Structure 1
Amino acid sequence: MKKSVWLPALIAPVVVAGAVAAPVIAQAASTPIAGNDPTAAAVIASIAGSSDARYSGKLSQTSDLGLPELPTGAGGSSLEGEASDALSLLTASHTARVYVDGASKQRVQVTEQLAEQDLIRNGSTVWTWDSKQHAATKTTLPSRSAQTPSSGTTTPTDVAEQAVDAITPTTTVSKPVATSVAGHDAWLLTLTPKSSDTLVGSVQLAVDQQTGLPLRASVTADGQTDPAFQVGFTSLDYGAPAARLFDFTPPAGADVSTKDLSDATPGHGARHHNTGSAERPTVTGSGWDTVVALPAGSADQAGLDADASGLLDQLTTAVAGGRAVQTTLVSVYLTDDGRVLAGAVPVSTLVAAAK
């Protein structure tokens, strides 16, 4: 199956649905949230202080986005490889072990049947490992980088930080209420979009009362009561994990590739990968109504092989000027001229934005 761009375009907006914007949290001291009746602002501010936290835990992620049932096994070759992995992120439940020693040492282990995927960051070096493919990738980050490449596993912090960015004036924030997650006392916030055009009904964040660490995050679709997407800790122990967990040596015979981003500047790729502005995504709208558009050529439907084309037909329906899929939280529109538009909005909004 040829690598296609529309699958990542379908996955990325799931996180966008949590807020539709990149995180911009002001720095805050790592101190417990004061008092038994904190303000929402105090709870939100405490999240930034959790960046230096040290802990080990187990995460559970569930998704119910209303995607159509697709065939597997015999006759279902279109669901092999990249397509299978991508759709699994959207439709199946996952658990992961997480080890964190401050902002520059993290390890995420996702274990499936007879397979394991790992992401290990130790300073400026990041390893990813896929046991099914018996392949590893070593990435060297810029020395000042605070970013870690995505493992495909979302954490509560990922969703929480993005939701915080959409707080005002687009969002109503509830008064914090006490709850408990994985045996830890937490404050629960509910963020409700003011927009009537978004598919998102609400986002709930549970924040540890002592550390400010987001313990659970869930996104509920408009008009629904059960979360369409949720990720949270089922167990959590504070304290520095063993140093050996952040070391990685590829197994014998592994297919190893490297990526050197050490010469990249913040917000850009490495110099030899730099592309013109015409190839960059464009953003329209704001807050929960944001629409991200990838340029012409991003959805090369004509170049897909038979399996990929069949999968595309099953996932999408024909609309004016292209094909589209609308889940409970996210819509993706593939235009006939090869553009991809996505957002936490109805398909009709994407079609209008494409004109």
Structure 2
Amino acid sequence: MDLGLPDLSAGALGGGAGSAGKLNPVSLLAGSHSWRVWFVDPTHARLALVDGTDEYDVVRNGSDVWQWSSADASVAHGKVPAGAANPGDARPPALPGSGAAGIPDLSNPDAVATWALSQLDPTTAVTSTRTDRVARRSAYGLVLTPRAPDTRIGSVHLSLDAETSLPLAATVFPRGSTRPAVDVRFTTLTLARPAPSIFEFTPPPGATVTIEGRHDGPMPKTDRTPFARPHVVGTGWSSVVVGELPAMSTASTSHGAASDPMAVLRKVLPRASGAWGSGHVLTTRLFSVVVTDDGRFAAGAVDPSVLYAALAH
């Protein structure tokens, strides 16, 4: 990825307590990364990130969830409570009229395609491209070009499997640039069902194992103060999600900046002010985010000026 993010290495956006290894989610937002994915159903899935000589795995096998990091030989093991909803069984309700408003999921070809295709309306030009090959499979291409002048998206290029129509690759170009900001694709793809042994995990000899979900003292207090549900301003490529940030709990803030990512963002992001109020602005090649001093936010694949107008809406 090449989103053009500011330096967020201030330290508070790392893995956090209880997670195996030293994987920093922010580090995945830049550069190239290779994942291996095995999937049968939401209760049998495995992800493996190989970074040089280090490997980080997340394994779901029924009610067992494992995290493994070879960098520090650490394992975290947890159990999914009986009766808990499985990821993928149901999606959270969409925001009213949002489609895929705000900042899209750019983590895989299917997510990018779902977001891009949800924008299909008169503001989008759709063209087909030549037949291609992705992950050693025949594919056909679609190019979606927004006509909206205030979006930061220049075009989205999709490669769809010729046999199954599964998105195999997705490339997103910022407006006015020939250098992609996001390029996610399969390099190999096997549609056969993975063997059950793939999801069986045994901690390697010498690994440090942490059991998740055990608490020696009282559970930390959480702030259950209700806050307004986010709403959408605008439509299509120009849509903006506007809402309020949840209040941090007293227990969380007592742990310092490591429990409050917004504290780090406020240190590294430039300030702005206007009729909408004042706050901090994150501007990347594809999207913008504004967090106001009074706890509101606005986000979208648009220029900051569109966010300011939405906040004042």
Partner of 2:89: 146
Shift in alpha-carbon separation, 1:145–1:175, aligned structure 2, 3 A: closer
**Cα distance between partner residues in 1 of 2:155 and 2:79:** 38
Shift in alpha-carbon separation, 1:169–1:142, aligned structure 2, 3 A: farther
**Cα distance between partner residues in 2 of 1:115 and 1:172:** 43
Task: Give the AA of the match of 1:325.
Answer: L
8 Å contact 1:177–1:188 — kept in the other structure? yes
Partner of 1:287: 236
Establish whether residue 256 from structure 1 lines up as the match of residue 211 from structure 2. yes
> Which structure exhibits the higher relative contact order, with contacts defined as CA atoms closer than 8 Å and separated by 6 or more residues?
1
CA displacement at 1:278 relative to structure 2: 3.0
Shift in alpha-carbon separation, 1:335–1:191, aligned structure 2, 3 A: same
When normalised by structure 1's length, the TM-score is: 0.64
When normalised by structure 2's length, the TM-score is: 0.72
CA displacement at 1:319 relative to structure 2: 0.7
Q: Secondary structure at the match of 2:188?
A: strand
**Cα distance between partner residues in 2 of 1:315 and 1:84:** 21
Structure 1 residues without counterparts, runs of 5 or longer = 1-62, 260-272
8 Å contact 1:284–1:290 — kept in the other structure? yes
**Cα distance between partner residues in 2 of 1:148 and 1:136:** 25
Partner of 1:129: 67
Partner of 2:227: 278
Partner of 1:57: none
Shift in alpha-carbon separation, 1:143–1:349, aligned structure 2, 3 A: closer
Q: Secondary structure at the match of 2:227?
A: helix
Structure 2 residues without counterparts, runs of 5 or longer = 17-21, 93-104, 215-221
8 Å contact 1:136–1:256 — kept in the other structure? yes
CA displacement at 1:186 relative to structure 2: 0.3
Within 5 A, what are the aligned runs for 1:183-332?
A: 183-248=136-201, 253-257=208-212, 278-297=227-246, 305=257, 311-312=264-265, 315-320=268-273, 321-332=278-289
CA offsets 1:195-227 (integer angstroms, 9 cap, x no match):
111101111110111122211111110001121
Partner of 1:98: 37
Within 5 A, what are the aligned runs for 1:64-83?
A: 64-69=2-7, 77=11, 81=15
Identity of aligned residues (%): 36
Task: Give the AA of the match of 2:230.
Answer: P
- 2:292 is aligned, of 324, 329, 335, to 335
Shift in alpha-carbon separation, 1:168–1:103, aligned structure 2, 3 A: farther
The ranges of structure 1 where at least 4 consecutive aligned residues each deviate by more than 6 angstroms after the TM superposition are 306-310
CA displacement at 1:308 relative to structure 2: 6.5
Within 5 A, what are the aligned runs for 1:28-39?
A: none
Shift in alpha-carbon separation, 1:221–1:292, aligned structure 2, 3 A: same
Q: CA RMSD in A?
A: 3.7
CA displacement at 1:189 relative to structure 2: 0.6
Which moved further from structure 2: 229-238 or 244-253?
244-253
**Cα distance between partner residues in 1 of 2:295 and 2:244:** 7
Q: Secondary structure at the match of 1:340?
A: strand
